[in-house]
């Protein structure tokens, strides 16, 4: 499967503090990669480095698709609170999605904000790769199901996904590969990579093993 | 694939404060009314627009960008010159609109293009009070640059430092030509007087140079900036 976005030797440091280093990761078409890591492990920084919002301290990122065909969603808190849901949807989806809600985004519940941001981003048909940061956060069961089904459909249609989440049970039912960001290093384990139906217990076991390893 | 226009995006996501836009609209309407009653009566309105524009153009960039509000446009455009200039244009548009409306009213009333708003000092003042607060606020909060500038102006006025040069500029038209650097300093410290006075070409060139330098620095801060979310470990 062709990598749409590929990082080689990626590192990010803030002063003496290393967030991650030596990160090699390919985000491939027709694949959903789950990015797993503890609080403060650097998942958000890694996603924002991959799309160029944060400058890498070392390494490089190669994008093999046209500009404007990689999308990112950083969570409901990254939506501007003062503009209407309708305006945001129209702007971000480039007219691919419609929303009749004229309320300012700050008036929406946490889950509704999350759903609004995700639906605007995922509606864009021309997008080839989606980088989603904690996309299940705040979603109710219907929203969670919609997100997983939409991601599966878009993956089957040829899209690539890199999805960070704490919610291992959501990742476990969806991802084709798992990348663990632990102690500033990224491990994409072959044993997990090839398993299509990894359970939550398996993910927890791998995560714990990585945390305990020197 | 339809493109996401940076102008449209910033106009929707970070427009200038509504209250300041309303004040600018009132000032422009007042200027038009004054010019209808008495040609040349609206010159002082330009000084008011200067004050409001100093705040209106202090929109800030990084604060919104590091909250993720600009993620879609940063991803679509990248943090390039085009994006930075679009943010500048949206930030200064209401002030430029009010200035232009006042100038057009002055032109019609005076039946001449040589009115304070449209003379070289007027354009220089408009660029100065648009570019400097915008550039200074790229990394700080909205309005902070405008508040700081007016604080310095007020402090200099209260301390009396500006009174000598200001009266010299008013009483001796040659003073600014003899002391161009001091004249530029006076204009920077008290930009409200720029449109209403005659300034020699080197001083106007100085105002333009300072404005363009500020604009370039503001653009460079955005182009070279990085936009980690504010809760990340910077």
Whether residue A193 is predicted with pLDDT greater than 60 in this model: the reply is no
Contact assignment for A55 to B232 by CB distance below 8 Å:
no
Distances (CA, A) of A20 to A7, A24, A113, A182: 12, 11, 30, 9
Whether residue A207 is predicted with pLDDT greater than 90 in this model: the reply is no
Please choose, from the candidates A67, A68, A70, A59, the residue with its C-alpha nearest in 3D space to the C-alpha of residue A29.
Answer: A70
Please choose, from the candidates A3, A25, A29, A129, the residue with its C-alpha nearest in 3D space to the C-alpha of residue A70.
Answer: A129
- Decide: B9 and B72 in contact? Cβ < 8 Å: yes
A52 touches chain B (CB under 8 A): yes
Q: What is the mean pLDDT of residues A171-190?
A: 85
Contact assignment for B226 to A19 by CB distance below 8 Å:
no
User: What's the order of all strands across the beta sheet hosting A17-28?
Assistant: A17-28, A3-14, A58-63
Token pair for B42: 């609206």
Contact assignment for B228 to A55 by CB distance below 8 Å:
no
Distances (CA, A) of A164 to A200, B133, B134: 15, 39, 36
In a domain, B161, yes or no: yes
In a domain, B228, yes or no: no
Closest chain B residue to A55 measured between Cα atoms? B226
Contact assignment for A79 to B72 by CB distance below 8 Å:
no
- The model's pLDDT over A93-147, given as tens digits with 9 standing for 90+, comes to 988 888 889 999 999 999 999 999 999 999 999 999 999 999 999 999 999 999 9
Distance from CA of A45 to the nearest CA of B (A): 7
In a domain, B150, yes or no: yes
B230 touches chain A (CB under 8 A): no
Residues 6+ apart with CB under 8 A from A43: A35, A37, A133, A164, A181
Q: DSSP class of residue A84?
A: B
B13 touches chain A (CB under 8 A): yes
In a domain, B233, yes or no: no
For B68, the closest of A54, A78, A126 (CB atoms) is: A78
Whether residue A86 is predicted with pLDDT greater than 60 in this model: the reply is yes
For A70, the closest of B69, B75, B233 (CB atoms) is: B75
Distance from CA of A150 to the nearest CA of B (A): 20
Phi, psi (degrees; rounded to nearest 5) at A83? -95, 160
Whether residue A191 is predicted with pLDDT greater than 70 in this model: the reply is no
A177-182 and A31-37 as β-strands: parallel, antiparallel, unpaired?
parallel
In a domain, B229, yes or no: no
Please choose, from the candidates B134, B172, B159, B145, the residue with its C-alpha nearest in 3D space to the C-alpha of residue B57.
Answer: B134
Interface confidence, given as ipTM, is 0.90
For A91, the closest of B4, B75, B233 (CB atoms) is: B4
Show me where the domains of chain A are located: 3-80+113-212
In a domain, B174, yes or no: yes
Please tell me the predicted confidence (pLDDT) of residue A149: 95
- CA–CA separation, A35 vs A166, rounded Å? 9
> Domain range spanning residue B212?
6-223
Number of domains in chain B: 1
Distance from CA of B83 to the nearest CA of A (A): 14
A3-80+113-212: CATH topology is Rossmann fold (3.40.50)
> Which residue in the block uniquely carries the two structure tokens 């084709």?
A176
Residues 6+ apart with CB under 8 A from A91: A120, B4, B8, B9, B12, B13, B72
Residues of chain B with pLDDT under 50: 233-234
For A44, the closest of B67, B74, B229 (CB atoms) is: B229
- Considering the entire predicted model, what is its pTM? 0.91
A177-182 and A185-188 as β-strands: parallel, antiparallel, unpaired?
antiparallel
What residues in A contact B68, CB-CB < 8 Å?
Answer: 74-75, 77-79
Distance from CA of B20 to the nearest CA of A (A): 17
Task: Mark B151-163 as b/e (b = at least 16 C-beta within 10 Å).
Answer: eebeebeeeeebe
Q: What is the mean pLDDT of residues A13-23?
A: 94
Distance from CA of B163 to the nearest CA of A (A): 44
Please choose, from the candidates A188, A140, A144, the residue with its C-alpha nearest in 3D space to the C-alpha of residue A37.
Answer: A188
In a domain, B164, yes or no: yes
A44 touches chain B (CB under 8 A): yes
For B233, the closest of A14, A77, A79 (CB atoms) is: A14
């Amino acid at each position: 499967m062709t990598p749409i976005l590929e990082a080689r030797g990626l590192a990010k440091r803030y002063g003496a503090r290393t967030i991650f280093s030596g990160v090699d990761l390919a985000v491939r078409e027709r694949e959903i990669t789950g990015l797993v890591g503890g609080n403060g492990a650097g998942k958000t920084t890694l996603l924002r480095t991959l799309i160029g919002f944060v400058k890498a301290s070392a390494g490089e990122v190669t994008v093999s698709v046209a500009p404007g065909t990689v999308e990112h969603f950083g969570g409901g808190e990254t939506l501007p609170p003062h503009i209407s849901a309708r305006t945001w949807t129209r702007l971000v989806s480039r007219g691919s999605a419609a929303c009749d809600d004229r309320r300012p985004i700050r008036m929406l519940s946490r889950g509704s904000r999350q759903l609004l941001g995700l639906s605007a981003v995922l509606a864009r048909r021309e997008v080839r790769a989606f980088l989603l940061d904690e996309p299940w956060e705040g979603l109710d069961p219907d929203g969670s199901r919609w997100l997983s089904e939409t991601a599966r459909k878009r993956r089957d249609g040829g899209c690539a996904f890199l999805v960070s989440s704490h919610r291992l049970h959501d990742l476990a039912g969806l991802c084709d590969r798992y990348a663990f960001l632990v102690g500033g290093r990224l491990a994409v384990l072959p044993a997990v990579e090839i398993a299509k139906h990894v359970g939550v217990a398996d993910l927890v076991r791998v995560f714990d093993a990585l945390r305990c390893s020197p | 694939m339809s493109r996401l226009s940076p102008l449209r995006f910033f106009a929707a996501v970070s427009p200038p404060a509504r209250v300041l836009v309303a004040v600018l609209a009132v000032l422009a309407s007042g200027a038009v009314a004054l010019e209808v009653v008495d040609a040349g009566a609206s010159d002082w309105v330009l000084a008011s627009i200067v004050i409001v524009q100093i705040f209106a153009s202090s929109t800030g960039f990084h604060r919104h960008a590091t909250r993720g509000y600009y993620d879609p446009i940063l991803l679509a455009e990248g943090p390039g010159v085009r994006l930075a200039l679009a943010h500048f244009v949206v930030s200064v548009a209401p002030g430029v609109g009010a200035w232009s409306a006042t100038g057009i009213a002055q032109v019609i009333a005076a039946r001449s293009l040589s009115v304070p708003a449209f003379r070289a000092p007027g354009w220089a003042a408009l660029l100065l009070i648009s570019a400097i607060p915008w550039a200074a606020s790229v990394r700080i909060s909205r309005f902070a640059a405008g508040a700081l500038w007016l604080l310095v102006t007020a402090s200099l006025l209260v301390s009396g430092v500006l009174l000598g040069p200001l009266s010299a500029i008013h009483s001796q038209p040659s003073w600014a030509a003899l002391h161009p650097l001091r004249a530029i300093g006076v204009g920077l410290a008290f930009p409200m007087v720029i449109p209403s006075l005659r300034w020699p070409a080197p001083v106007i060139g100085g105002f333009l140079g300072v404005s363009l330098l500020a604009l370039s620095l503001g653009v460079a801060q955005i182009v070279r900036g990085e936009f980690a979310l504010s809760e990340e470990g910077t």
